[in-house]
Amino acid sequence: MANPSGIGASVRRVEDARFLTGRGNYVDDINRPNQTHCILVRSPHAHARILGVDASEALQAPGVIAVFTGADMGADKVGSLPCGWQVHFKDGTPMKEPPHFPIACDRARYVGDIVAAVIAETRDQARDAAELVMVDYEELPAVASSLKALEPNAPIVHDEAPGNVCFDWHIGDAAVVDAAFAGAAHVAKLDLINNRLVPNPMEPRAAVGDYDASSGEHTLYTTSQNPHVIRLLMGAFVLGIPEHKLRVVAPDVGGGFGSKIFHYGEEAIVTWAARKLGRPVKWTSDRSEAFLSDAHGRDHVSHAEMAMDKDGNFLALRVSTIANMGSYLSTFAPSIPTYLYATLLAGQYKTPAIYAEVKAVFTNTAPVDAYRGAGRPEACYLIERMVDVAAGVTGIDRAELRRRNFIPVEAMPYLTPVALQYDSGDFAKNLDIALPMVDYAGFAARKADSARRGKLRGIGLSTYIEACGIAPSNIAGALGARAGLYESAEVRFHPTGSVTVFTGSHSHGQGHETTFAQIVADRFGIPIENVEIVHGDTSKIPFGMGTYGSRSLAVGGSALVKAMDKVERKAKKIAAHMLEAAETDIEVKDGRFTVAGTDKSLGIGDIALQAYIPHNFPLDELEPGLDEQAFYDPKNFTYPNGCHVCEVEIDRDTGVVEIVNFAAVDDFGHVINPMIVEGQVHGGLVQGIGQALYENCVYDEDSGQLITGSYMDYCMPRADNVPSFTVKYHEDQPCTHNPLGVKGCGEAGTIGASAAVINAVVDALSEYGVTHIDMPATPEKVWQILRQGSPAAMAAE
């Protein structure tokens, strides 16, 4: 490695000094002159008709400037929050897409639905006045669970969606799958629930709307992962503001995990109200509001069946899933349980036939959308649990059954029966690295030792593959995406050789300011201190799609490389001119431009200076300046993959599950900053473990009230809940179709971990005849199994 801050170096994150010393600039830190404060009146009922909103008393309260309702926004022709992805029913008819207004007009459909916005001089005054807004509700029966919503007499969430069905979609060839099942020697079956989660980024959402009457320009400061997407959706569909009059700024953002991808009503409310009032309007969510109103994740109920021949070769997989969409379609909701879930159901296996059907259902709960992994954790969890059940049915060792069914490395590129083409991956190799990391062979001895101490012990594997860097725009478009999925970058060399990069990706914890700078430093042989990464402001950066789905490096990084290619081509021209050589004779290495076979050379800094002082440029052939922009539209998804192994001990007295060892082997293609990658893996693993053992979003089935509305009841994993992880990666299988050979690492940990944990728990409980336990595997759930007694022990008695 030539450059100490180049590709492959564990450079410390340059952004951390600012974050750790409290100098970050988050949306709530932004205060505009003459600013007002907005508090939202939210429905306390899961389902109610809004008969009237009486704001007269609130309007008399000290400091109150305005109280707005859905009718006020309707009078200004404010549109519905758009859905960015259209999915179709099996018969080709489009999904049901009921309107979702920023402020509910006729009906409130979940606890937390916005029914009025109170704006006052101070936040406390707005809050006081919000209590005085009298909303006349007629309570309606509510339904919180997707299964109940499908019952014949269930309350109807939207009149537009009979039976509460948003869509009933499928993928794969049912006839081929049926035929394979007919000839199967073994069939394994599994019913499972993928529990609902609350995303919980450290920074709650916030938005500040500002309007400059002299220029007619709107500015929205918002906690977003993708400011250009918000500008497009809100500008074009909700408020009718053209792009050149709308600036969206997402400054430092404290975590998102997907929940800040979406366009939320609050953003439209503050932007619209700021113009209405001629004053800036600020809204900041408190934690309780975040629990109620951030888009939730997961919430699937599935049935799956695997057909095998007598040797355990997978013949066909059949999956039927019911996905809870919540009360309204959030921005990308329909794509999550379909194109980001069912297309991943091949996993790492050469299962020749797969059929999946997905029914998406409206309920009186918060909207559900992408949450770290988005569809892929649900797919991985289902497959990897299924494989363990299959191992039980066939009596084949779980590692061996996986190995037998892996898509071999020689088969790459490999087209699965569910539409994806994997470009690379050596799954057997991942497994070979992982098993010794936990001394898989020595497990029996450790289990015996645990038994001596009165504990149960189990080990579980999970081999995941995910599709990241969504995706070629043409494929996504054909699958219903209403947006392109490219990324942009601009590389601007300044006269003295420093560089500013403008990226359409957005960093909200990922460390782009470091990683992207390393890529530039590496290419041009300059220190990263000379590179500044600018993101998150639509008035500065080119149109970009933002950060989600582990796409920043794979797509945004590729755009950056493309822009650097252009810079280099231009620099080569300038070098040729300055060195009086033919352009074809210029050789480039680490930012030095040399005339082949001579010692005549120039550094990129010299060239940059000349680019801006073009005293003797042949201007017909050579433009001044060294500033290039590129858009990159990927050729395919990238396919990070890996193998996780988890070992647990269970306390027989209490049912408490303790993770005693956890190893992860990942193939992320090339790695730019190993330290940042390791951090992403650790965080991801904790989130996956959180789902498996602790986190669970619970609504009361009858009232639709959120029971787990605070950290007193919603259990986040803490440092003392997890062991010290052992993680490794290998770079032998770089992505074949992007210039950096990178695959993405942001979600992998979350995608693989839950299945590894539950497989270990089920293994530990296997002597009790257990073949499945739903997440989270809480102490009580485990104890209820233990108290039934072990069938083996009972038979022996």
Name the residues that contact other proteins, by CB under 8 A.
Answer: 124, 127-128, 131, 288, 653-654, 694, 698, 707-708, 711-716, 721, 778-780, 783-784, 787
Residue placing its CB nearer to other proteins in the complex, 88 or 652: 652
Closest by CA to 149, choosing from 280, 301, 319, 329, is 301
Which secondary-structure segment (H or E) carries 671?
Answer: none
Q: Shortest distance, CB of residue 441 to other proteins, whole angstroms?
A: 33
Closest by CA to 67, choosing from 58, 77, 75, 76, is 58
Residue placing its CB nearer to other proteins in the complex, 131 or 397: 131
Residue placing its CB nearer to other proteins in the complex, 23 or 787: 787
Q: Shortest distance, CB of residue 390 to other proteins, whole angstroms?
A: 32
Residue placing its CB nearer to other proteins in the complex, 73 or 130: 130
Residue placing its CB nearer to other proteins in the complex, 356 or 706: 706
Residue placing its CB nearer to other proteins in the complex, 285 or 552: 285
**In terms of residues, how long is the chain?**
797
Q: Shortest distance, CB of residue 698 to other proteins, whole angstroms?
A: 6
Adjacent-strand bridge partners of 592? 589, 603
Could you give the CA distance from residue 502 to residue 544 in angstroms, rounded to a whole number?
10
Type of residue at 779: P
SS3 160: coil
Q: Shortest distance, CB of residue 694 to other proteins, whole angstroms?
A: 6
Closest by CA to 383, choosing from 351, 346, 416, 338, is 346
Q: Shortest distance, CB of residue 655 to other proteins, whole angstroms?
A: 8
Q: Shortest distance, CB of residue 40 to other proteins, whole angstroms?
A: 15
Residue placing its CB nearer to other proteins in the complex, 558 or 778: 778
Q: Shortest distance, CB of residue 784 to other proteins, whole angstroms?
A: 8
What single string gives the DSSP state of each residue in 243-278? GGGEEEE--B----TTTTTSPPHHHHHHHHHHHHHT
Q: Shortest distance, CB of residue 179 to other proteins, whole angstroms?
A: 45
Which secondary-structure segment (H or E) carries 138?
Answer: strand 134-139
Residue placing its CB nearer to other proteins in the complex, 106 or 124: 124
Q: Shortest distance, CB of residue 125 to other proteins, whole angstroms?
A: 11
Residue placing its CB nearer to other proteins in the complex, 159 or 720: 720
Q: Shortest distance, CB of residue 113 to other proteins, whole angstroms?
A: 20
Q: Shortest distance, CB of residue 725 to other proteins, whole angstroms?
A: 20
**CA geometry: angle at 336 spanning 188 and 544, to 5°?**
145
Which residues, at least 6 apart from 395, have a Cβ–Cβ distance to it below 8 Å?
none
Could you give the CA distance from residue 71 to residue 105 in angstroms, rounded to a whole number?
6
Closest by CA to 384, choosing from 351, 350, 348, 412, is 348
Q: 680, 746 in Cβ contact below 8 A?
A: yes
Q: Shortest distance, CB of residue 127 to other proteins, whole angstroms?
A: 8
Sign of CA dihedral 477, 480, 481, 483: positive
Q: 546, 224 in Cβ contact below 8 A?
A: yes
Residue placing its CB nearer to other proteins in the complex, 495 or 779: 779
Residue placing its CB nearer to other proteins in the complex, 124 or 139: 124
Q: 631, 544 in Cβ contact below 8 A?
A: no
Q: Shortest distance, CB of residue 707 to other proteins, whole angstroms?
A: 6
Residue placing its CB nearer to other proteins in the complex, 288 or 629: 288
583: left (phi over 0), alpha (psi -120 to 50) or beta: alpha
Residue placing its CB nearer to other proteins in the complex, 540 or 787: 787
Q: 304, 342 in Cβ contact below 8 A?
A: no
Q: Shortest distance, CB of residue 132 to other proteins, whole angstroms?
A: 13
Which secondary-structure segment (H or E) carries 620?
Answer: none
SS3 231: helix
Type of residue at 138: E
Q: 765, 773 in Cβ contact below 8 A?
A: yes
Could you give the CA distance from residue 299 to residue 227 in angstroms, rounded to a whole number?
27
Q: Shortest distance, CB of residue 157 to other proteins, whole angstroms?
A: 24
How many Cα atoms occupy the beta-carbon half-sphere of 155 within 13 Å? Answer: 22
Q: Shortest distance, CB of residue 39 to other proteins, whole angstroms?
A: 12
Q: Shortest distance, CB of residue 773 to other proteins, whole angstroms?
A: 16
Please report where in the chains the tokens 């008709």 appear, as a residue: 49
Residue placing its CB nearer to other proteins in the complex, 677 or 697: 697
Q: For strand 217-222 and strand 246-249, is the pairing parallel, antiparallel, or unpaired?
A: parallel
Q: Which pair of tokens denotes residue 105?
A: 């007009």
Residue placing its CB nearer to other proteins in the complex, 291 or 422: 291
Could you give the CA distance from residue 551 to residue 271 in angstroms, rounded to a whole number?
29
Phi, psi values for residue 610, rounded to 5°: -65, -35
Residue placing its CB nearer to other proteins in the complex, 134 or 534: 134
Could you give the CA distance from residue 708 to residue 515 in angstroms, rounded to a whole number?
37
Residue placing its CB nearer to other proteins in the complex, 421 or 708: 708
Q: For strand 36-42 and strand 281-284, is the pairing parallel, antiparallel, or unpaired?
A: parallel
Could you give the CA distance from residue 242 to residue 213 in angstroms, rounded to a whole number?
15
Please report where in the chains the tokens 């339904």 appear, as a residue: 143
Which secondary-structure segment (H or E) carries 667?
Answer: strand 657-667
Q: 759, 751 in Cβ contact below 8 A?
A: no
Q: Shortest distance, CB of residue 711 to other proteins, whole angstroms?
A: 6
Residue placing its CB nearer to other proteins in the complex, 503 or 778: 778
Q: Which pair of tokens denotes residue 512?
A: 């782009």
How many Cα atoms occupy the beta-carbon half-sphere of 654 within 13 Å? Answer: 7
Could you give the CA distance from residue 65 to residue 137 in angstroms, rounded to a whole number?
24
